[in-house]
Each structure stands twice: as C-alpha cells, then as structure tokens.
Amino acid sequence: MIPADFNDRLKSEARRLGFDDVGIATAVTPPDYPNFLAWLDAGRHAGMTYMERHAAAREHPDSILAEVRSVVMASVVYGTKPIREPTATEGRSARYAQGADYHDFLWDRLGQLLTWIQHEIPLTRGRAVADTAPLLERDFARLAGLGWIGKNTMLIGRKLGSFTVLGALLLDLDLQPDLPFQLDHCGTCTRCLDACPTDAFVAPYQLDARKCISYWTIEHRGMIPEPMARELHGWAFGCDICQDVCPWNRKSPETRHPELASDERWSMPDLMGWLSADPAQFRRDLKGKAQSRAKRSGLLRNAALILGVRKVEPAIEALSGLLTDPDQTIRESARWALEEIGTAAALEKLERLPLP
C-alpha cells in the first residue's frame, strides 16, 4: 500500500537531498518519441550514431526497468553566471561543464532517494538514470510538470530557467502522477533562434546537430571540417548562446551546490595552457570533469582552431610544438591554426617541420 501522503513526502525528501524541483510522471511512451524518430530520419543527429542504435529503447522506459510504472523526474540548477568576458587567449565552456561532473552528483542523490523510498515501501524496485540511459528525459520532465520544451529544445522552468540538469528515478510503484506542463511560455520570442551564429535551429523546436557548436566541440571525433572550424566563436567545449539570451534565464538562480559552481579555470580555460600542458597531467586534470567526454584530442583541437581563427601570434610556439604530437587530430589542428595565423613566423614553423 502506498500512503496517501507519499508523493508529498517523497518530494520533500528529494529537495532535502539537494534537488531544486521534482515531479512524477506515469511510465508511458513519451509523446515526442515520433518526433525523435523523424529527427533521426532527417540525419539531424550528425555523427551520434549511438542514438540510432538505441532508438527503439527510447520508446518506453521499460527498456531500462522492465517493471517500471512511474518516473520521478528531478532537476538541479548548475553553474554560476560569468563575471567577465574571456581574453584573446581564453575560451569558453558550457556552464554545465564548469564545475564537477554532474552525473556523479545526480547518481549519488538519486541513489539516496531510492534508499529512502525502499525504507518507506520495502521491496520497491528502482533504477537511477542520469543522461546515460535511453530515456527522453526532457519529455518526461514536461510530463512531470517541471516545465516546457522551449524553441531551443531545452527544458525551461518558470522559476529555474533552463540551466538545469535532469535525473530520473524509475520505479515499479503506481504513484499518482503530477499534471503535465501544458503551456508554452516562449510566445513569439525567437531570441534563441536568432542568436545562434551557425543557424543550427532549422525551425522552432528543431535543432540540427550538424550545425551545432556543442556537437562539433564535444561529440565529433577527428578534425572539424570547414566551415565549422571557423565557426566555434570561442567555444572550447559546448555552447550556451541559446540559453544565455533566453529571457527566462535573466533572473534564474545560480546553483546552491559548491561542486556544481563555475570554476574559472574551466569556464574560461587558458587555451595556450592547454596546448603546452604535459599530456599525462592534462589527462589527470580531466578526471571528474565533463570535458573528459572530448578527451585531450578534442579539447586541444578546439583550442588550436580558436587561436588560429583569432590569429593569436603568441600561440605560434605552442602550436608548432604539437606538429609532432602522436595524435593525428591534434597535429592537423595545429597545422591548420598556423596556416590561419599566416605570419612569416607561423609559416616558417610549417616549412621547418612539415607533417607527412
């Protein structure tokens, strides 16, 4: 038997554990699943082939937990607002990647919440999900009443804005669901669509990853082709432009968790420092960071391209030192950047030590 006040007590416990909002949805086929399939069919997932492989699993959360009846969706605000602009030798990282890796935070809190539930209702079965399982989390967050899906495809809450990460707890309990969020508060606003420098939004609510800075700087492996190599706009990992301009984020709160707060070393990384860092130490520094997704290869590639586009001459020495790096992507990116800088000093480095 599920106590009449169980939902209220569950939400209270979730907030005590550090979640900023929580709601409950029935485990169903998410309403946007057909749109997800159409998105795949159009090729707008770019090189993220894992989305194709796991497409069928996203049709229902029972692919994750066979006995699932309810989905508890919880959100946490991440990051802090920037206090200055980056310099010519600094890049930008998406706000979610400026603190500790949010996955560990969510898994820990969701695990504690599941333990509490199992104490209240013994023999409950559950599964914690934090962005790494085939679940259309934003769709379930809307069903759970946490907000609406904006024109930039992000979940937006009236009080929290969109700088939130989502976690889900799949349960074999028949819980009373919350009312789905029915309204769309974007109205006639198109600031997110207009601000995207690469026109990644082919229409409201439709993102083409093939034009998205976040895709190229995080998910893509290998050299970034023209013209996207020139269109990173200083973003070394991810991109927040469509969220930064959203009116719903003007008064959105900053995180209340120190581990998810922004660290300037990662919010505005020293790109030349990345290029000259000891490879082994750099890899160690990436542990526990979202940037580990791109690995040293992707991060140094991004840094080199940004410095090349900006024609940062003090970066010539560091770039030339990468022309013999064991990683082919890094070598190609360093060469491209030196050609972009194009000064006699930069071209001399290429003539002295050309790549095969």
Q: What is the pLDDT of residue 265?
A: 92
Higher per-residue pLDDT: 305 or 82: 305
Confidence of residue 83 (pLDDT cuts 50, 70, 90): confident
Instruction: With CA atoms as reference, report the closest residue to 342 among 305, 304, 308, 315.
Output: 308
Percentage of the chain modeled with pLDDT above 70: 99
For residue 315, pLDDT beyond 80: yes
For residue 210, pLDDT beyond 70: yes
Question: Which candidate in 62, 108, 131, 172 is catalytic?
Answer: 131
Confidence of residue 352 (pLDDT cuts 50, 70, 90): confident
Annotate 157-213 with DSSP letters as a single string.
BTTTBS-EEEEEEEESS-PPPPPP----TTTT--HHHHH-TT--EEETTEE-GGG-H
What would the pLDDT profile of 99-137 be if each residue is shown by its tens digit?
999 999 999 999 999 999 999 999 999 999 998 899 999
What would the pLDDT profile of 262-304 be if each residue is shown by its tens digit?
998 999 999 999 999 999 999 999 999 999 999 999 999 999 9
The answer to whether 50 touches 2, Cβ cutoff 8 Å, is no
For residues 60-88, average pLDDT:
96
Region of 147 (left: φ > 0; alpha: ψ -120 to 50; beta: rest) is left
The single-letter code of the amino acid at 182 is Q
Helices (H), the chain: 6-16, 33-41, 49-53, 102-120, 137-143, 191-195, 213-214, 241-244, 264-267, 271-276, 279-286, 295-310, 316-320, 328-341, 344-352
For residues 10-19, average pLDDT:
98
Phi, psi of 201 (to 5 degrees): -95, 110
Q: What is the pLDDT of residue 171?
A: 98
Q: Enumerate residues 6+ apart whose C-beta is below 8 A from 31.
A: 139, 143
The yes-or-no answer on residue 131 being catalytic is yes
Residue 178 tokens read as: 């919350």
